[in-house]
Structure 1
Amino acid sequence: MQKSFKFAVVTVSDSCSSGTAQDTSGPNLVRLIERKFDVSDVIYRLVPDDFLKIKECLEGLISEDVALIVTTGGTGLGPRDITPEVTKAIIEREAPGITHAMMSGSLKVTPHAMSSRAISGICKSTLIINFPGSKKASQECFEIIETALPHALNVLRDVQKDVKTTHQEIQGHFNKGCHHNHSNADVNKIAYRLRSSPYPMLTVDQANNIINEVITSGSLLEEFATKTECLTIDKCLNRILAQDMYSKIPLPPFRASIKDGYAALSSDKVGVRDVLQGICAGDHLNTELKSGQCVRINTGAMVPDSADCVIQVEDTKLLKHSEDGTQELQIEVMVEAKPGQDIREVGSDLPINTLVLNKGTLLCASEIGLLASIGANKVAVFRVPKVGVLSTGNELQSVDSELKPGHIYDSNKIMLMNLLEENHMKAVDLGIVHDDYEQMTNVLNNSFKNKCDIIISTGCVSMGDRDILKEILQKELNATIHFGRVNMKPGKPTTFASCTMQAEHKVKQKLIFALPGNPVSAFVTFQLFVLPHLKRLAQYENVEHPLMEVELIEDLNLDPRPEYARASAFWCPTKKCYLAQTTGNQISSRLASVPRATILLMLPNKTESKPKSLKGDKLNAIVLNIHALG
């Protein structure tokens, strides 16, 4: 065990955090961890039974790269016991074996252990374990699992030397071992790898048609067409409405003044009026007016029932006011008013029971404002896909660590997760997975079983000796690979697969978009193959990127494959058309070609008669950001 690992104990207790009770469990667990791991700097935190405060504490410790977080308290059946719920909201993968071991061992001590709801799981490279709140029970749970913790942390933190030692120790207890149907030895026989892809080369249109057919013929599209969730309107931006919405109240709900002025009787025509009082917006004053009387009124205020017009202040003259100037007492009406003048009658904007928004409407800012105006605080919206994103490769590392020799920072995962968030989908971080058969299999299986409808991976799908993803999909997930090559640049190795899996007591269809590892390839193939179909599942009406015609301002060499070049488009007033210029070197590893791109130029494949697209040629382009077009 590496002594550089950080450890933390978090006590969750209202009474202990407020100082009305003394925490004995937390300090005891600190001592147990210090003894077990030979450390002296275990972090100790004390928080109340408050969801946000617990979550903030755990996320803060994870950001500090703590390897093991042990919580104590809040795991029972009480209304304030929410530690497992907070933990579930944070972890990316559960560790059910640890939880089961604690439950099994605790039940041997007391039957009351069955009321514990503790869970264990992993967030990034941090293991989180819930313990009971009592000193005795928490110590018993720690002692049940303590022998397995060093190995678990070494595996989680990828400390290969210590992992290998532990595995050798375990194997020493057995003369015979059970073996998987595969082994890393099979993967390591690189001399026997395929030298050419067995998958036919498809066009982009053919590939998209296959994806559409798989989604349409499977259970996933029907599931999303019928599965809704009820959200408060402040959480509904860019979601699709799953019900027709009718106004339950008329708008306005009362006779409202359109102007600042005076509510009066039109039959009094011009002349002197006594001002009885003032009515502001929000006041509920129903003053009875007689001939020669009026009330001062503000825009949006409720007009008294006895008034039939509002005279704007510009059509009056002040004759008398109070000595202190705070009240108007008498005015002269200069312009004759008509009945109903400057009054919004009840329901004039929107009568009661009027259809205001149709099912299938995309809820943008104005639609949400309209829902608020009719008092619709909660609405049913279609569920959006939950999409897991993982990067594969031994050379990848997180951007929050110092770069090792021979490594690169993982840009794909964070880019794709933000593209998902940008397009209002739910993204789940599945981490960086090494080119390891068993690890990759476990991540895919656990992600589908626990949380994800769809997985997007990058890398591990080309012809390299460590590109094992397709084999794992077929052998371990029993998946169907619908295509494994597309005639395009960048993005040739793009792979699409589907499988069925038991989840939530049902057999569900799952999708896998295995994108190339080069960052630009991942970006382009996400736009072409992933995003439109995610929008289709989420019940969007317009799912395809808009197309536009542009004129080239430069000569471009063509490739044998159709190419999607990153370019910027800008309007030319003299030519009355959009002009396009590429964003520099178009190599698929150069992510710097993407940020300034507003379009993907659809370059045709190279032929003998046309080896180049020339300046002045008109081409179609896929619009990436319609708001950024120059």
Structure 2
Amino acid sequence: MATDGMILTNHDHQIRVGVLTVSDSCFRNLAEDRSGINLKDLVHDPSLLGGTISAYKIVPDEIDEIKETLIDWCDEKELNLILTTGGTGFAPRDVTPEATKEVIEREAPGMSLAMLVGSLKVTPLGMLSRPVCGIRGKTLIINLPGSKKGSQECFQFILPALPHAIDLLREAVVKVKEVPNELEDLPSPPPPPSPLPTSSPHRQTEDKGVQCEEEEEEKKDSGVASTEDSSSSHITAASIAAKVTLFSCNNDTFIHHYTLRLQSKCLEVYDFNKHPSFVSQIPDSIISRGVQVLPRDTASLSTTPSESPRAQATSRLSTASCPTPKVQSRCSSKENILRASHSAVDITKVARRHRMSPFPLTSMDKAFITVLEMTAVLGTEIINYRDGMGRVLAQDVYAKDNLPPFPASVKDGYAVRAADGPGDRFIIGESQAGEQVRKEKISFEKSTFKCEENDPYVCFQPTHTVMPGQVMRVTTGAPIPCGADAVVQVEDTELLRESEDGTEELEVRILVQARPGQDIRPIGHDIKRGECVLSKGTHMGPSEIGLLATVGVTEVEVQKFPVVAVMSTGNELLNPEDDLHPGKIRDSNRSTLLATIQEHGYPTINLGIVGDNPDDLLNALNEGISRADVIITSGGVSMGEKDYLKQVLDIDLHAQIHFGRVFMKPGLPTTFATLDMDGSRKLIFALPGNPVSAVVTCNLFVIPALRKMQGILDPRPTIIKARLSCDVKLDPRPEYHRCILTWHHQEPLPWAQSTGYTSIVIISIIVVIIITEVLLN
């Protein structure tokens, strides 16, 4: 047993595991054992447990057969770990926990508790599970749920403790090392906020470090296997529904959050901007719904090299030219930063550069949450209402007048006295919308529709008063004359007499009985003077701008728009209008990123193309910092000898680099940094140079940050579910595809067709769909 202050490293011997599926239907070949097969894949995966399957069996829900198998595997086969799946619920034949209790010699309640706590964070139905964990001899037995999704989630909940527990049971001779003092007080990582992806991860190759960020980036990057790995598993599209994140050119797409449930064939739609109280109910992990399992050497998701074994191994190669991630926030003086025109990055010691990235892999969820946590809402400004499209109100807006300011007719017809009933009536004149009418205070005794007694505004009504036996012709929106209390539409009347020249109606027959108030909008019926018509935090669109015009509010206080500066880096880049030369390519990233930002209405600054030179990078960044709130770069963040951007951020600008690699595909070398300067915070997004990676990471990280800066209540992207139209080879990382959505008649879910990773396709397509997990029916 390890002593205090020690931690265990890798095992000396491979873990021998048995998977036991308990299911009547699977035993009789009436159903496929998806849970057991998936558990075998998880056990095999070197990035998870890295064990070997020494036994696999399916038994019916019979206590004796379950016990017999468990005892044989513990005593005869001497397995290190047995995972059972199924039979842990409330059904009469769910007897796996009872069989396990009769076999084990000691219980392991902590593991059972970990699975229950984790399950309850996913669904309240987790309380219906009855897992038992215990020890027989040197074998650890774990009861997992019967569903593929539930068994994988529970396996992940206990995975961090399994290697240590198994080593203790088999009394293995293990290598240990002292825990650094600075790590002893670090808080434990938070529990997973939501379910795990149900896909079977690929095998991973040995970490090679990030090699490049162009088309081959995803096959060579650190800690991740190529998607062409022969052990990669396939998921049949007909049997799955994929969780996707939808971005559209229409900003309204971001207002609503959709949840589609395939099983119940129903669609739930929540409008979080109209119901802000719902926002708190959305899980933080909106990008990759489940916990992402990283390679063991980076699973801690630390932000300092000392917490990453790989970074420790390379720390002795660190030089002034190789940055290390920061933990403490740095504040800088604008004058000192902008004064520097020469970089302090040493570019001469090429042989001493890092061979593997010093930045630990950060999970997608943690990276996304970090960006939002480090992003602050900007200040406010006064603008003309015509410029309010896409802006967020900083104050409530109140109506200056009643709407309508007078009793108005809803239809074309005749203003009548309801008490007169049907019959022949004399027409005393007409009231038309927009014509000049009397403007005076109306006697409260004489006026049918009274003004407020203390209203400083006057009532607008025609000069004539309708007496018994009389009517007045009115048009839609016209003021109602005094004495009248109803409108009869023209279809319910008959003309009796007209003038000789036919220019006037003189007498009309009312054919129906009118009721008081019929087809009349009273004063203030739509909007009352002093009423709040738009609330603080409203994201304004065409309707809101029209409402401001209606109530006469022409200047409003709104949150400021962030200004975004964009530049591309690389000695090989040319402007789009330039002719190609050997070794050169045209810069497309800058145009794509600028268009993406402008599509959402944010002002942009084009910083042009910057060469792979620390001085040029520093000067361009200084210009962006002085003129913009957010700086976006593309390229220069991988492991090439000319990739100096992270070093310039660290050494020259003293920026805080929050993460330098993200566990995602594409976009692994994505980097996010902040610079606190003279009371304001600048955000710096250093995106990969691959065109696909750049636009995907811009939509996933930059756009939500900009939306938060402008005051949008829920800046996260819309999430929907869709079916995949073709088979997908799964990757250990959350994978993001651009897709086309197609809706078929009478189907509750759309179909998502991936366009692949072709740069040309990704630039031309309008809708961006991001696949983050696959869920089995």
CA contact (8 A) 2:343 2:618 kept: no
TM-superposed CA distance for 1:266, in Å, is 2.7
Indicate the percent of aligned positions where both proteins have the same amino acid.
43
SS in structure 1 of the partner of residue 383 of structure 2:
strand
SS in structure 2 of the partner of residue 543 of structure 1:
coil
CA contact (8 A) 1:286 1:303 kept: no
TM-superposed CA distance for 1:199, in Å, is 0.8
Q: Residue 595 of structure 1: which of 765, 768, 775 is its match? A: 765
TM-superposed CA distance for 1:326, in Å, is 2.1
Matched residues in 2 for 1:355 and 1:443: separation? 46
Q: Residue 467 of structure 2: which of 284, 290, 294 is its match? A: 290
Where does structure 1 lack aligned partners over 5 or more consecutive residues? 1-178, 605-616, 620-630
Q: Which deviates more, 246-255 or 329-338?
A: 329-338
TM-superposed CA distance for 1:525, in Å, is 0.8
Cα distance per residue 1:467-516 (max 9 Å; x no partner): 11111112221212121111211101111111123xxxx43221100000
Where does structure 2 lack aligned partners over 5 or more consecutive residues? 1-339, 438-461
TM-superposed CA distance for 1:274, in Å, is 2.3
**Residue of structure 1 in register with 2:723 after alignment:** 551
Any residues of structure 2 matched to 1:152-191 within 5 Å, and which?
182=343, 186-187=346-347, 189-191=349-351
Cα distance per residue 1:85-142 (max 9 Å; x no partner): xxxxxxxxxxxxxxxxxxxxxxxxxxxxxxxxxxxxxxxxxxxxxxxxxxxxxxxxxx
Q: Give the CA RMSD over aligned residues.
A: 2.4
Any residues of structure 2 matched to 1:90-239 within 5 Å, and which?
182=343, 186-187=346-347, 189-215=349-375, 220-221=376-377, 224=378, 227-239=379-391
**Residue of structure 1 in register with 2:200 after alignment:** none
**Residue of structure 2 in register with 1:473 after alignment:** 649
CA contact (8 A) 2:341 2:618 kept: no
SS in structure 1 of the partner of residue 679 of structure 2:
strand
**Residue of structure 1 in register with 2:404 after alignment:** 252
Asked if residue 330 in structure 1 is aligned to residue 500 in structure 2, the reply is no
Matched residues in 2 for 1:292 and 1:444: separation? 82
Report the AA paired with residue 456 of structure 1: I
CA contact (8 A) 2:667 2:693 kept: yes
TM-superposed CA distance for 1:593, in Å, is 7.2
Q: Residue 348 of structure 1: which of 515, 518, 525 is its match? A: 525
SS in structure 2 of the partner of residue 417 of structure 1:
helix
**Residue of structure 1 in register with 2:608 after alignment:** 431
Cα distance per residue 1:262-321 (max 9 Å; x no partner): 123233333332222222111223322333332211000011123222221112111222
CA contact (8 A) 2:422 2:509 kept: yes
TM-superposed CA distance for 1:425, in Å, is 2.3
Matched residues in 2 for 1:200 and 1:373: separation? 55
SS in structure 1 of the partner of residue 619 of structure 2:
helix
SS in structure 2 of the partner of residue 231 of structure 1:
strand
Matched residues in 1 for 2:660 and 2:591: separation? 24
Q: TM-score scaled to structure 2, two decimals?
A: 0.50
SS in structure 1 of the partner of residue 374 of structure 2:
helix
TM-superposed CA distance for 1:548, in Å, is 2.6
**Residue of structure 2 in register with 1:364 after alignment:** 541
SS in structure 2 of the partner of residue 402 of structure 1:
coil
> Relative to 1, partners in 2 of residues 1:202 and 1:401: Cα closer, same or farther, differing over 3 Å?
same
> Relative to 1, partners in 2 of residues 1:266 and 1:182: Cα closer, same or farther, differing over 3 Å?
closer
Any residues of structure 2 matched to 1:521-532 within 5 Å, and which?
521-532=693-704
CA contact (8 A) 1:259 1:299 kept: yes
Report the AA paired with residue 212 of structure 1: L
Report the AA paired with residue 604 of structure 2: A
**Residue of structure 1 in register with 2:710 after alignment:** 538
Asked if residue 413 in structure 1 is aligned to residue 585 in structure 2, the reply is no
Matched residues in 1 for 2:475 and 2:617: separation? 67
CA contact (8 A) 1:583 1:594 kept: no
Report the AA paired with residue 472 of structure 1: V
TM-superposed CA distance for 1:459, in Å, is 0.6
> Relative to 1, partners in 2 of residues 1:556 and 1:290: Cα closer, same or farther, differing over 3 Å?
closer
**Residue of structure 2 in register with 1:565 after alignment:** 737
SS in structure 2 of the partner of residue 352 of structure 1:
coil
TM-superposed CA distance for 1:521, in Å, is 0.2
Q: Residue 272 of structure 1: which of 424, 433, 451 is its match? A: 424
> Relative to 1, partners in 2 of residues 1:594 and 1:562: Cα closer, same or farther, differing over 3 Å?
farther
Report the AA paired with residue 468 of structure 2: S
TM-superposed CA distance for 1:390, in Å, is 1.0
Report the AA paired with residue 493 of structure 1: P
Matched residues in 1 for 2:566 and 2:504: separation? 67
Matched residues in 2 for 1:520 and 1:410: separation? 13
Matched residues in 1 for 2:423 and 2:341: separation? 100
TM-superposed CA distance for 1:431, in Å, is 1.6
TM-superposed CA distance for 1:182, in Å, is 4.4
Matched residues in 2 for 1:406 and 1:353: separation? 67
CA contact (8 A) 1:232 1:377 kept: yes
TM-superposed CA distance for 1:562, in Å, is 3.1
Matched residues in 2 for 1:384 and 1:416: separation? 17
CA contact (8 A) 1:244 1:358 kept: yes
By relative contact order (CA 8 Å, sep 6+), the higher-ranking structure is 2
> Relative to 1, partners in 2 of residues 1:292 and 1:549: Cα closer, same or farther, differing over 3 Å?
closer
CA contact (8 A) 2:492 2:510 kept: yes
> Relative to 1, partners in 2 of residues 1:455 and 1:532: Cα closer, same or farther, differing over 3 Å?
same
**Residue of structure 1 in register with 2:659 after alignment:** 483
> How many residues get paired?
413
